[in-house]
Structures are given as structure tokens and as C-alpha cells.
Structure 1
Amino acid sequence: MKRNLPLALFSGLMMWVAWPPTHYTTFLLFIGLVPMLLAMENIIQSDVKGKGRKIFNTTFLGFFVWNTLCIYWVYNSLKIIGPITAIPITLIPYALGPLLMAAACWLYYRLRLRTNRTISLMGLVCFWIGYEYLHQSWDLNFPWMTLGNGLAVSHQWAQWYEYTGVYGGTIWIWLINILLFLLYTGLREAQPKKLRIRLVVTAVVSLVLPMGFSLYSYYSYEEQPNPSNIVVAQPNIDPYLKGGEIPTYQQINILTHLCDSIGQPNTEYFIWPETAIPSATGIDEDHIYTNNYYLQVRSFLNKYKNGNVLTGGETYKLYAKRVTNTASPTADGAGFYDRFSAAINIENSSRVQFYHKSRLVPGAESLPFGNALSFLKPAFEHLGGATGAYGLQTEPSVFYSQSGIGATPVICYESIWGEWVARSVRHGAQFIAVITNDGWWENTSGKDQHLDYAKLRAIENRRWVCRSANTGISAFINQRGDIVQQSKWWVRTALKQDINLNTDVTFYTRHGDYLPKIGSIMAVLGILFLLLKRKS
């Protein structure tokens, strides 16, 4: 344990140094897991008792260091919720992810007892992918640390994500680490020279071929001309003052002034950030046309014939009966209502389109396992938390302008779900509009990581990403994942760009997360195999 714990911690530190937004150190991802594999191998080859427990504990500590150093900024966002709610929510990103990672390593050890090293290492990759897919699919979702996201800074190496999504990156990173681990153990165990040479050749080919293909794709890729003029606004309003200290009409005035300063007669979309139209009571979606804030936006659009405002807003819907699991009773008990973190598309016509944020932050925006734990909802509300406060929709949406341009609205946290964005693009979106409010995290690496991850959505779908962030960083990202323009942090500004719309559908857009689904099936089969072996 004395020798293996430093190896695990060193692995965690290397993975942290390699992780976005750090530049020029991405290559460490390909060697960062080797010390962790060596620590597990040392335990497996030792004579100590309780090897499975030691592997779990050792790997958990290493992964905990990696995760905590990368997402330390999560703590800053806890100011918006009650202190009682904050404690368990902190454990979700800091500890739950490392626990699942360590569980994958423990399963690898159990499989190693029943099979050889090669098969068990293949199983490790499947168990890991199964953990990652679980962590983006269940109610405690937090796929921020999906291993393939680590290539976001060096996006030139990941152009083939248009075929595999980020899970292709997870497999690639694990493959190189495993091959280097096998090469080192081969030297340590004095394996035949031919086998070592074969491993060297395999490792070089496995590294060079994907990277070479990606670089070729990056430099040869050409966008088809199909221009549309887009403006993204960054009002730079302190998120802790948005709720009431700055009147909503004044916040809209700030946004319209920013857009007027650079808008053109042919501007087709003005994109405003998440909750750009806040309201203490929310906006009634069924009576939007008489809402003063809606009328204020329509007045702004009078000078832009083909203009649309795609904005975030806080809305609600009233029901006579409880038609959704997230609905709460009204104060007078006469009905029910749902509150939404919504995207709203307002145009120069009588049509208004709504999209309800669907990937909600566990604890802060949704009650995990709500059906089973719904009895806790009143307690959270009285303790000051926002748990379970928002409704959602189960299918992504595409907003269509009068001229037929399709935009997929992606609200904040949703931008780290590749398949969710791809489903929306598959339904006809020609560009991706990310609206977010990263001010809760303050001036930390969280905002930079969030921006970097958006580059992967551009590559996966070969769509421009137009990103409007309340306090920064707002940006335009082209179809290769290059940041063409970006704002500074905590600056009131607006950006304008002629983007190219795209209607072609990539392999990943069409098929989504097929890799983690296959990997998860293999992981389940591996677990069943272990259970059957144990029973026999």
C-alpha cells in the first residue's frame, strides 16, 4: 500500500494536469493511467489479503484527486441553494464519480481472477465505458469527467468524433495507456523480445493512425458556404442580482442595446443567455402574448425583418390536474403548475416557440429518483433548496425561423450531452445555440472547460456553435471546433458572426452513442459472468 498509493496519486495528478483547460499537456492523458494500472498490478501480484478492497481504496483516492482538482469550482455554485442541500450535492461530482471509477477497477480485478490479463483489460475498458454511460443516464448524472472530454483542448486530434462521439476518445486513451502498461510489465517480467516489439509497434500505430487521420480531416475539411448573420449578447449581469435587484425590463434594455450596437438588417438570430428574462413569478407560457417582457422584445425586433430572439427565460404552465411528476400544487390548491428553465424563440410573427431544459442539475434543479424520494421534496423546499423545482421535456427541440433556419437550443448543462445535442440536430437543426449562465462558478476553470466541451459538439455534428453566456465566455465555434471569436470574462459585450449553416448529417449524429451502449452490454455480460462463476 505504501508503494501503490503514491502511484495512484501520481496518476490522478497527471490526469489533472492533462485536463482542460490546460494547454500543451493533453499528451499526458495517454500515460496518466499507467501508474494506476501498475498500482493495481502490484496489489494483484502481492501476497496481501483483501486485494479487492485495496484496489478499490487505492484507485478511489487517485481518481478522487483527479476529479476534485478538475472540478473544484463546483463548490462556488452552491451559494444559490440552502446549506442543508449543499452538503449531499457536493458529494455527487467530488466522490460519486471516483466511486464508480474505482468500482470499474474492482470489477477488473474480479475478472482478472477468472480470466487472463488480456481479457480482463478488455473488460476494464467495458466496465469503464459502462460507468461513463450510467453517469450520463441516471438521475445522479454528471458526465463532466467523461474521459473523451479530455481531448477538448486539442480538438485537432479528435476530428473523428464525428464518427464515434467522445466515447471514441475514452477507448483511445485507455488503449494507449494499456499498451504502455503492457510494454512496461513486459520489460519487468522479461517477456520475449518479439512480444515487446509487437507491443511497441501496436502502441505506435494505435497512437499515430487516429491522430494522423484526425489531423488530415482537420486541415482538409471545408465548410459549404451557406451564410447566416448571428449576434450573441453577453449582458454581464451578476447572477446573484438577476432575481430582483435589477428589474427585468432594465435587463432586457441592456440586451437590446448590445444587439442594436452591432445588429444588421439581415441579422437572423439574436441569442441571449440562460435566464436572460428572469421573473420573480415566471412567465405564463399560455399567456405569453400579453406579457410585458415579450412585448418589449417584439418592439426591439420591429427593425429586423427576419430577426429572431432566442433567449433563456423562467416560465411556468398551469394545469387543472397533476399531469406531470414534477408538477406542484398552486398556493390556493386549485390546480398544479410546472416551472421551467426555458429557451424561448420570439420572431416577427405571432408564433412563439418554447423548449424546456431537459438535462437538469441533480439536486439544484431536479430531485434525483423523484418517484422514490418525492416525500423529501417539501423538506428541501422548506430548507431553502431548489430541489425538484423544474419540469422538463423528454425530447429535444428545434426552433425554426420564418426563413426556415433550424436552431437547436441547448441550455447550459445540456451542452455536455453529445447524444442529446445530436438528436436535436438529427431533427433538422442547422446550427447549435448554447445559452448559459456560468457566473455561478465565478472566475474559475469551470467556465473554460464548459466552453472547451462545446467544441466537441461542433465536431460531432459539423455544426457551428453560437454560445451566449451571461458573464462569459461567449463565443462562435466553427464546424472544425475552432473558436473563431470569443469574449472576455465579466465584460458586457456582443459578438457578431456570419456562420455557415449545414444540413449534412454525420455518422455520429445519425447513430448517437452506439459505442457506450455496446460497451455497457459487454459490461453487464461481464458482471453476469462473474456472478455465475461465483455461484458455481
Structure 2
Amino acid sequence: MRRLFPRRNHPPSHGPRTASPHPGALALAAISTGLFLSASFPKLSWYPLAWIAWVPLLWTIPHVSPGGAFRLGFLAGLVHAGTTLYWIAYVVQRYGGLPLPVALSVLLLLCAYLALYPAAFAWIARRWLSRPAWWAWGLAPAWVALEWVRAHLFTGFPWTQLGYTQTPLLPLIQVADVTGVYGVSWLVVQANAAVLIGWRFKNIRPALAVFLCAGVALAYGSWRLQTGNDAAGTAEEFRVGLVQGNIDQSVKWDPAYQAKTLDTYEELSRQLVRRNRLDLVVWPETAAPFFYDMEAGPTARLHETLEALKTPLLVGIPGVVRVEGAPKLQNQALLLEPSRGVTGRYSKRHLVPFGEYVPLKKVLFFVEKLVAAAGDFQPGKEPAALPLGRHVLGVLICYEAIFPELARDEVRRGATVLVNLTNDAWFGDSSAPYQHKEMARWRAVEFRVPFVRCANTGISAVFAPSGKTLADLPLNTRGTLSATLPSPGPITFYARFGDLFAWLCTLTTATLGVYGALRNRRTP
């Protein structure tokens, strides 16, 4: 393959030398990449933009030094993170009690951290300019490697993985049962590199490879959709009902409002079971605003509701455990069955940093004083797939749904349906609930199991194993829904082997990096 870009300070072989772009144009290109990426995610969901979003930043690479590429990548990442995660400032200001300038500073710090990944990507692209094959075929694995690191480093934050932009393309995302979201991220970045190479250097081989890979992925997805198990009505029919109470977060824990909250969930549940024959009723995260077994009155009332419904109930509720003699909070889900009481319990394992606990507490000792709402929760220790008749419930609480490894743990323990209890009231009417819901949808596709998402203020939904929406309730709506769940499919490649694709991309990137470093050291 011929050189993709001319060496700096040398005229290009294919035409006359051109002047370097103005620094303002370079910055504008980086900003465009950040905005295009953000527009690809909900609420806007202009997902076709993702296929060209990286092109403006990649265009700048030949015109700057490695350090300049890092800075432009950082700018693109800062713009992208800021315009996608803007709602974090709202959350920490309203519910954390921080002044607006401090809340904006918290958002800026998080965005600066996340911007390091696009910055590293741009730096890698600049370092590989002199190696055409690496540039054409190595950038996509490099991006996947960076996404995988971000998903695990410092407890992990995989909120805006690039593949999630393509959620509306249901046939394309079926490949997730092999590669997870990383396979689609790889394809999108590969397409961006191919667009730039084809447009500027008339080299269509990378574009042909992208068309081939996309064609294979779409053919596989179409086959999976045709031969999948989205149809309900099997011998093991399982019908669930979801209750969306739409309780305002500002009053949810007000003792004076406790009885009214229980009234709301009880009345909605009674209406739900009167209209439908159900095998399970689901309430969202911390729907019951009291400590089970520690507050006798509300606990007794919950059991009275259970017996009146004559239907098993899965409810989110706070719990208390003792750790070294000291009481600790836990974010729990209880499975209750009529006449039997509690038959299963799950405690949230992946807590929200600075929301449910303060990481590095000895170092960040001042944070608890700043964020009055920061809890001191104790994480659960293991998955707890909960048996219910012939079915097994794999429970994920809140943003645990964006971590595929947690869902994989549940499925490998025998879960035949994944249930996500969440409370997105924290996010208000921002894009966060929409982003959260679309990421959760992928867990159904990855593991070929139905996915039930019950949210306090919405968006509650039931997804088939293909990711298709079977039923949903809009944001900020009080109501109920019911759906008959399809049977789960056979255990998937992704369930068996996890992030093997991401591991291969990481290994490829590391190998190229080490080889390049050794080669440069040997070059006089």
C-alpha cells in the first residue's frame, strides 16, 4: 500500500504542495467531530452521522505534530463528553446540593478525563502516519481497545461507547451476540477511516473492506431476526407487568409522602392484575421508600399488598447489612411470593461513584462534605439469579444495565430473563433516560434473553431477545404495562467468551505499539 499521507515538510507526491490549514480551522474540525458524535446519540439519535463523525478530526492529523494531534483529540472529546453528559451538572446541583459553579466543575473534570481517550486515539493516528497499513486497518482496533479500557478503568464508565449510536439499526446490532457493542464500534471507526482515505487519497480498498464487513454483519443480523425467538406463546409462557409510579425524586424520601408512594404503587398494581393474568409484577429501584423488616408498618403493608395481588412481586428497596459490626446500606431487590414472603434477594454490586459511595475515601475526604447526598452503600458480593417457577430472573439495578459483564454473570448462572430496576428521576427531562434505555437494550441482543426495564419515571420497556421493543411507557408518565415474554435463545458466543473481540483488538493495538516503539529505537 502506498503512503497515505506525505511526510511533514515535504510536498505530496500526487500534487503541488498546499499550505497548512489555519489553527482555527483545525480546532473547528475537532469541534465538529465532537458535535457529530454527540448528535449520533439520543435524544437526537442522528445515527448516520457516526459513520463520518471522526473524519474532520482525522483530516487534521497530517497537519500537526503528535502533541498537536493529542490536543485536537482532547478538544473533540471534551466537546463530545460535555454535550452528551451535560445532565450530570443538573444532577449534582439539584440532588447533591452543590452550587452551580462547583457542579459545572465536577462535569468539566469528568469530561476532561473522558476526553483523554479521543486524545490518545488522535495521538496514535498521528504516530502511525508513516505506516499506511496500520493507519488503514489499525485505527479501528485501537479505538476498541481504548473503549474497553474506559469500560473497566476506575470502576469503568462505558456510557457512550460508539457502537451504541447504531441501536436503531436492529439488523446491524445483532452481531452483538458475538462481539458485544465493540464489534459495531470497530465497524463505525473503520468506516470513518475508509471515508477519509477514499475521499482524499482515492484508495478504495478500505471502503470495500467496510462494505464487505457491514454486508456480512447485516446478513447475519437479518438471519438472526428471521430465525430468532421473538414470538411469544410458548409452552413456558411468562407474562410480566411493570408499574411506573412516576414519583418525584424531591419528595420520594419525605416521611410524610411515604404512605402516598405506597398508595400509588398499590393502586396501580391492583389495576394491573385486574386487567391481566400475570406471572410477575415488577416495581422499580427503591420503589418502596423504607427499610424492609426494620420498619414494621410499611413492611406489613407491603405483604398485605402482595397477598391481595396474589402474584409474585419483584420490588426495589433499600436494605441494611452489618459489616464488621457497623450497619451499611444496600440497594436491593426482593422477590416476594404470596404465602411465602421473601424467596430471593439481590444486592447491587456495581455502585455509582460519588452517588452511592465515595471512591478513594481517604484521599477524597472532602467530597462527602461537598456532596451531602453521597451515600455510603455496601456493594453486593455476587450475582443472584432468582428462581421463579420455571424461570430465573437475572436482576440488574440502575446503571448496572450498561455493564455487559454483570448481565453475563446472571445469564451464566441460568437467568432466562434479565430485569433492570432503575430510577431515572435523577436525570429530569434530559437525554440521559433515553441514552440509558438504549444501552440496556443491547443486553437482550448479546445474550438472547428477554429484557425487562422498570423505571420510576420512565422509560419502562420490555425488549425481545432481538432487541425489538415489545412494550414501553414514555418518560414522566404514571402507568403500567404488560407483556408476554418470548423464550430465551441458546447461550450465545458472547455469553460463553465475553469480550474476546475487544481483547483481540487490545492485543493487536499493543502489539503494533510495541513493534513500532522497537522499530523506532533501532532506526538511526
TM-score by length of 2: 0.87
Partner residue, 1:165: 180
Secondary structure class of the residue paired with 2:349: coil
Distance 1:13 1:532, change over 3 A: same
**Aligned-partner residue type, residue 35 of structure 1:** P
Deviation at 1:303, TM superposition (A): 3.9
Deviates more, 1:525-534 or 1:508-517: 525-534
Partner residue, 2:238: 228
Q: Separation in 1 of the partners of 2:222 and 2:408? A: 23
Q: Separation in 2 of the partners of 1:356 and 1:530? A: 46
Q: Separation in 2 of the partners of 1:92 and 1:150? A: 24
Q: Separation in 1 of the partners of 2:521 and 2:266? A: 68
Partner residue, 1:146: 161
What whole-Å deviation, never above 9, does each CA across 1:290-326 have from its counterpart, x for those lacking one?
Answer: 8433332222222454x2211111111124x2xxxxx
Secondary structure class of the residue paired with 1:179: helix
Distance 1:18 1:400, change over 3 A: same
Deviates more, 1:487-496 or 1:9-18: 9-18
What whole-Å deviation, never above 9, does each CA across 1:450-508 have from its counterpart, x for those lacking one?
Answer: 11222211111112121111111111211221112211222211111111232621111
Deviation at 1:176, TM superposition (A): 1.3
Tell me, yes or no, if the aligned pair for 2:86 and 2:107 is still in contact at 8 Å. no
Q: Separation in 1 of the partners of 2:376 and 2:137? A: 42
Q: 80, 83, 86: which is aligned to 1:66?
A: 80
Matched, 1:295 2:286: no
Counterparts of 1:344-493 in structure 2 under 5 Å?
344-348=334-338, 349-368=340-359, 370=360, 373-377=361-365, 379-387=366-374, 389-401=376-388, 403-493=389-479
TM-score by length of 1: 0.85
Counterparts of 1:5-44 in structure 2 under 5 Å?
5-23=27-45, 25-43=46-64
Q: Separation in 2 of the partners of 1:506 and 1:246? A: 48
Tell me, yes or no, if the aligned pair for 1:60 and 1:101 is still in contact at 8 Å. yes
Q: Separation in 2 of the partners of 1:220 and 1:159? A: 12
Distance 1:90 1:394, change over 3 A: farther
Q: Separation in 1 of the partners of 2:229 and 2:504? A: 32
Q: 299, 309, 316: which is aligned to 2:313?
A: 309
**Aligned-partner residue type, residue 19 of structure 1:** F
Secondary structure class of the residue paired with 2:286: coil
Counterparts of 1:89-104 in structure 2 under 5 Å?
89-91=106-108, 93-104=110-121
Q: Separation in 2 of the partners of 1:121 and 1:54? A: 21
Tell me, yes or no, if the aligned pair for 1:274 and 1:436 is still in contact at 8 Å. yes
Matched, 1:126 2:141: yes
Q: Separation in 1 of the partners of 2:471 and 2:500? A: 33
Partner residue, 2:331: 341
Secondary structure class of the residue paired with 1:424: helix
Tell me, yes or no, if the aligned pair for 1:110 and 1:530 is still in contact at 8 Å. no
Distance 1:520 1:246, change over 3 A: farther
Distance 1:291 1:404, change over 3 A: farther
Deviation at 1:394, TM superposition (A): 3.9
Secondary structure class of the residue paired with 1:434: strand
List runs of 5+ in structure 2 lacking aligned partners: 1-22
Q: Separation in 1 of the partners of 2:194 and 2:337? A: 55
Secondary structure class of the residue paired with 1:267: coil
Partner residue, 2:150: 135
Larger RCO, structures 1/2 (Cα 8 Å, 6+ apart) = 1
Deviation at 1:277, TM superposition (A): 1.5
Distance 1:31 1:503, change over 3 A: closer
Deviation at 1:386, TM superposition (A): 4.2
What whole-Å deviation, never above 9, does each CA across 1:315-338 have from its counterpart, x for those lacking one?
Answer: 11124x2xxxxxxxxxxxxx3122
**Aligned-partner residue type, residue 297 of structure 1:** L
**Aligned-partner residue type, residue 298 of structure 2:** Y
List runs of 5+ in structure 1 lacking aligned partners: 44-50, 188-195, 322-334
Deviates more, 1:238-247 or 1:54-63: 238-247
Tell me, yes or no, if the aligned pair for 1:180 and 1:203 is still in contact at 8 Å. no
Q: 281, 284, 289: which is aligned to 1:278?
A: 289
Q: Separation in 2 of the partners of 1:104 and 1:356? A: 37
**Aligned-partner residue type, residue 479 of structure 2:** T
Tell me, yes or no, if the aligned pair for 1:341 and 1:390 is still in contact at 8 Å. yes
Partner residue, 1:183: 198
Partner residue, 2:19: none
Q: Separation in 1 of the partners of 2:505 and 2:406? A: 19
Partner residue, 1:46: none
Partner residue, 2:481: 495
Counterparts of 1:211-222 in structure 2 under 5 Å?
211-222=218-229
Secondary structure class of the residue paired with 1:212: helix
**Aligned-partner residue type, residue 393 of structure 1:** G
Partner residue, 2:71: 57
Q: Separation in 2 of the partners of 1:232 and 1:341? A: 19
Q: 37, 58, 75: which is aligned to 2:89?
A: 75
Q: Separation in 1 of the partners of 2:206 and 2:364? A: 54
**Aligned-partner residue type, residue 356 of structure 1:** S
Deviation at 1:172, TM superposition (A): 0.9
Deviation at 1:526, TM superposition (A): 4.3
**Aligned-partner residue type, residue 279 of structure 2:** E
Indicate the RMSD between aligned Cα atoms, in angstroms.
2.5
Distance 1:65 1:82, change over 3 A: same
Deviation at 1:419, TM superposition (A): 2.1
Distance 1:512 1:266, change over 3 A: same
Tell me, yes or no, if the aligned pair for 1:475 and 1:487 is still in contact at 8 Å. yes
Deviation at 1:122, TM superposition (A): 4.1
- Identity among equivalent positions (%) equals 23
Distance 1:208 1:363, change over 3 A: same
**Aligned-partner residue type, residue 350 of structure 2:** R
Distance 1:127 1:385, change over 3 A: farther
Q: 257, 267, 271: which is aligned to 1:247?
A: 257
Q: Separation in 2 of the partners of 1:425 and 1:507? A: 12
**Aligned-partner residue type, residue 358 of structure 2:** L
What whole-Å deviation, never above 9, does each CA across 1:338-381 have from its counterpart, x for those lacking one?
Answer: 2112122222214442222222222222323x3xx43534x333
Tell me, yes or no, if the aligned pair for 2:251 and 2:257 is still in contact at 8 Å. no
**Aligned-partner residue type, residue 158 of structure 2:** P
Deviates more, 1:467-476 or 1:206-215: 206-215
Secondary structure class of the residue paired with 1:13: helix
Q: Separation in 2 of the partners of 1:144 and 1:125? A: 19
Deviation at 1:387, TM superposition (A): 4.1
Partner residue, 1:329: none
Tell me, yes or no, if the aligned pair for 2:72 and 2:122 is still in contact at 8 Å. no
Across the two proteins, how many residue pairs are aligned to each other?
A: 492
